[in-house]
Structure 1
Amino acid sequence: MRAENRAIQFFSEMVGPNLSGPTEPYFWTHLVLQSSTCEPAVRHSLIAISSLYEDISKARTNGTSSKVNQLHLNSLALTHYNAAIKELIIIKDQGLVLLICVLFICIELLQLDRDAALRHYRHGNSILDLFDPQDTSWVCEWLRPQFHRLQTLHHFFGDRFESFGQHDTLRKTPIFFSTLKYAEETMDKIFNHSFQLVRRGVNYRAGGQQLEQPGPDLLEEQRSLRHLLNVWYTVFNNLEARSTCRPMSITAVQRAYLLSKYRLCRIWTAMVFSPSEMDYDKYEDEYRRMVEDLGQAADERTRGRSRNNFEFEMGFLVPIFFMTIKCRYLDLRVRALHYLKVLAAPREALWEKDGMYALARRIIEIEHGLLLDTDGKPLATLGATCWGLPPNEKRVVHVVTGWTGERSNDFCGHHVQGRNVVFVFKSPDDGVFFQPDVLGEEPVLLPAWSPETTKREVLARGARI
């Protein structure tokens, strides 16, 4: 019983306030914690989450890997997770089942079990179908927004051909935000629809339709999203102006996070049908404003509480990573790389900072022909350093990654340890060429390409950026 009480106390003081990342933590600090006092399944889930979170924190403190955090190695978490599952079977209240579903997703994310987390997400979506979107119950007020944000997880890691009911149907942006939470929820919907448009436009950017005009439905969706983004920004500025007159103002971290998603959506929506990497250079003003916002957030973060080790949802990692690889203004992308290190949690759902930081850093080095020191600042130059905007043929357009945990000789015939990477570039004749690399502790000189690997095999395995 002492271990359970300690886990609940740890959740109250350390886990709950941090799981939400840069967004409002009320769901975890109040709703979940209060429900645990009267619902055994919630209490068991909370203890499992707390114990697994502590494992990650200890691993990070000791400098050991937190990639493998198996449930069977933590008897306390395993016991209470199984107990929560048994309790769930007899629960009739679908709202409570949905709450526990969110907690189960969290447990699986802490273990980096993508498939199990997505299964719970799909189950939760089917339950959410039972609730009227206009319902004002606590389920729609607190749980529906959770699933709006978890759609991002499905977009990035789930089956790209699988679709769900439109729980976040986007009609129009409100003309008034009464709270920051309302602004966040509206941006979550816009973000999801922007990503869906990006997915639908992939063939116009990198497929067989690059020379074709998008259909009227896609162009109308692009126009609508641009309008919604403009309205959202105006209404958010009004909220921010009002918040300065209140005791509780919007923090720099909250502001930077929301605006980084807003700017990411603006660029996504504008670039959705463009096949040219050079077109990203048009958004220098957006990049510069984003870096300024991130700088203010970083100052606030360093003055505030200790850093988090795990966040339940996407935080700063994806927006900042996107900027570091698509903004080719060296001064801005180097600063963004620094802010990625400062603002992002080591783990955000299934995203891991170490790997994304290493990848972004290497892309900067390759595109500008230089080396960065441990602080991410230019250290030395290579053959032809590009201090300005890199030419089209030096820009990374595609990345293929694979993880090798032990020494292996299966990458171009070399013994390597780390993350195997193949960078894909466009050649001057509009073809493609490849550059293998390794992200890790051992710099390995690799040949230009392995002849037995074809272009089709590489692109089929690719992780689009």
Structure 2
Amino acid sequence: MQPQTRQRRFSRRSRTGCQTCRSRRVKCDETPGACKQCTSTGRNCDGYDLPRLPVGMKRRRQDLAWSGPSMRILLDLPGTNSDERRCFNVFQTYTVPMMVSWFDSEVWQQIVLQMSQAEPAIYHAVVALSAIHEDSDKAGLPPGAMDIRNTYHRFALAQYSKAASMLCKRLVSNDPQVRAVALMCCIMFICFDLCRGNYKAAFTHLQNGVQIIEGQIAKANRRHTFPQSLNSWSPTEYALTRVLLHLDVQSAHFGESGPLLHLHPVVLGEGSRDSLSLNSLKEVKQSLDPIMNNILRFRRSCEPYVRGDISGLFDISGASAEQRRIQAHLDDHIQAFEDFVLRRASYPADSKDARSIDLMRMQNEALTNILETSLVTSEMIYDGYLPVYKKITRLAEKIITSFQSEYGTHRPCIVMDMGVIPSLLWVCLKCRDFPTRHRAVKLLERWPHREGAYDSHLLVQIVKDHMVLEQPSAGDGVTANVPEYARIDSVMRVNTSGEE
């Protein structure tokens, strides 16, 4: 009797594993970059076949075209495929105008497009972000956590890895432009990782960008007696640094360190209080960023005192003096902003500018409240600011309604500037008037989107948990009198240990 021939059981060969695992016919764990199946056994992971996007995907966008002065570039770089070129076109046609929904930005409307022509690392980073945006646009939802089963996500991760690899090769050159390339890639990587909910990776890139900026400042200051302003940098590096500064301000609510940049007022561009004059909405935003940085840094420094942890060691008189100094700068900014609005009152404002003006007023109200209460040790004091919280929610509702009237369901789902979310979040946390608080939550739910590090969907869940703990009896819609002992002083830390 002849032995029975043993036959291999048929199984479909994986099309998504790395080339090494596929040739060995073993299951690949598909870790981005290099799989652990290879690296853990000392093998060289030969990488993955670049994913391709679905063919013939029809875009949803047939509504009003996004407005804004963006340049148009037709790229056909050697070695690129049709999917990459299509994503680049989507980026400049849809993603860029959406990114500047609040304020025009030369970084998004010019610099990143120009640098993509000469820098493959930036080009592939752009393609990666565009693929994430296109997928979220197709689904009608803001970007969420990465799903390796999603074709767009696999394609985006491959482009992201390709960009990182090309940047590493670029950094070893002595080209004077390499610093600007690194800063631009940092910005793109931050945006990509924020969109996929990976705060830890995003803020690692932010730290890298901050280190580049601080290194350049230290180098410049060694050659000068006085601190050098960012205004003395090249226009490109100055613009990129401003974007990183704005992203750094957002980091105050994430992790433990607060804003990373702690720079001399001259470096931040605060300038003299006697010379503040604002001539555009772009200048208004840039003027507010360093003040916002100082406000959030100051409030963070006061938290141990407010909690009673270091009451005997805290310099209350020094803190009060610093509070007055920052308040004076904020008051000057608000006055210069209102003077600017008054000067341009005779000119008709388009809907974008009108929203931006309302946004600045809303942020000024929130920042003033944050600063004024930084040394307050009782949560009961916030009850006296109900008119402020009602004004913030009114302005937010006006802005969201304007977006909805103009774009319907196609409102922006990704914006890197801080918009309505941080101010509404502040109302949700500090206002114990239930109708006003409930209205703020509903406004966050009404517009699912991401503003830089702020994910409206994630924050709504945090706020609802916060409200349940504080106001268990307020479900009937009646204002609840929350006693001091039941009030939560802060939930402004979002876990950044991994992907949300």
Under a length normalisation based on structure 1, what TM-score does the superposition of the two structures give? 0.74
Q: State the distance in 1 between where 2:252 and 2:434 align.
A: 30
Describe how 1:400-419 pairs up with structure 2 within 5 A. none
Alignment-derived partner of residue 303 in structure 2: 202
Instruction: Verify: 1:223 aligned to 2:324, yes or no.
Output: yes
> What's the offset of the Cα at 1:161?
7.9
The structure-2 alpha-carbon separation of the partners of 1:20 and 1:402, relative to structure 1 and needing over 3 Å to count, comes to closer
Instruction: Verify: 1:181 aligned to 2:282, yes or no.
Output: yes
- Residue identity opposite 1:192 in structure 2: N
Structure 1 gap segments, 5+ residues each: 373-379, 404-418, 420-465
Q: Structure 2 residue aligned with 1:39, among 76, 95, 119?
A: 119
> What's the offset of the Cα at 1:327?
1.4
Instruction: Verify: 1:237 aligned to 2:329, yes or no.
Output: no
Q: State the distance in 1 between where 2:202 and 2:149 align.
A: 14
Q: State the distance in 1 between where 2:354 and 2:421 align.
A: 17
Deviations 1:431-456 (A, max 9, x none): xxxxxxxxxxxxxxxxxxxxxxxxxx
- Residue identity opposite 1:348 in structure 2: E
Instruction: Verify: 1:354 aligned to 2:454, yes or no.
Output: no
Q: State the distance in 2 between where 1:269 and 1:308 align.
A: 30
Alignment-derived partner of residue 232 in structure 2: 135
> What's the offset of the Cα at 1:23?
3.3
Q: State the distance in 2 between where 1:295 and 1:212 align.
A: 43
Describe how 1:148-167 pairs up with structure 2 within 5 A. 148-160=245-257, 163-166=260-263
> What's the offset of the Cα at 1:25?
4.5
SS at match of 2:441: helix
The structure-2 alpha-carbon separation of the partners of 1:107 and 1:319, relative to structure 1 and needing over 3 Å to count, comes to same
Q: State the distance in 2 between where 1:267 and 1:402 align.
A: 21
SS at match of 2:118: coil
- Residue identity opposite 1:346 in structure 2: H
Q: State the distance in 1 between where 2:190 and 2:258 align.
A: 21
The structure-2 alpha-carbon separation of the partners of 1:96 and 1:71, relative to structure 1 and needing over 3 Å to count, comes to farther
Q: Is the 8 A contact 2:363 2:423 kept in 1?
A: yes
Q: Is the 8 A contact 1:177 1:235 kept in 2?
A: yes
> What's the offset of the Cα at 1:391?
2.9
Structure 2 gap segments, 5+ residues each: 1-80, 218-227
> How many residue pairs align between the two structures?
390
Alignment-derived partner of residue 298 in structure 1: 400
**Per chain length, whose mean CA-contact separation is higher, i.e. which structure has more relative contact order (CA < 8 Å, sep 6+)?**
2
Q: State the distance in 1 between where 2:426 and 2:195 align.
A: 24
Alignment-derived partner of residue 198 in structure 2: 113
SS at match of 1:308: coil
Instruction: Verify: 1:23 aligned to 2:88, yes or no.
Output: no
Q: What is the root-mean-square deviation of aligned Cα atoms in Å?
A: 3.1
> What's the offset of the Cα at 1:304?
1.7
Q: Indicate the structure with greater strand content.
A: 1
Q: State the distance in 2 between where 1:161 and 1:243 align.
A: 36
Under a length normalisation based on structure 2, what TM-score does the superposition of the two structures give? 0.70
Alignment-derived partner of residue 72 in structure 2: none
The higher radius of gyration belongs to 2
Q: State the distance in 1 between where 2:398 and 2:259 align.
A: 39
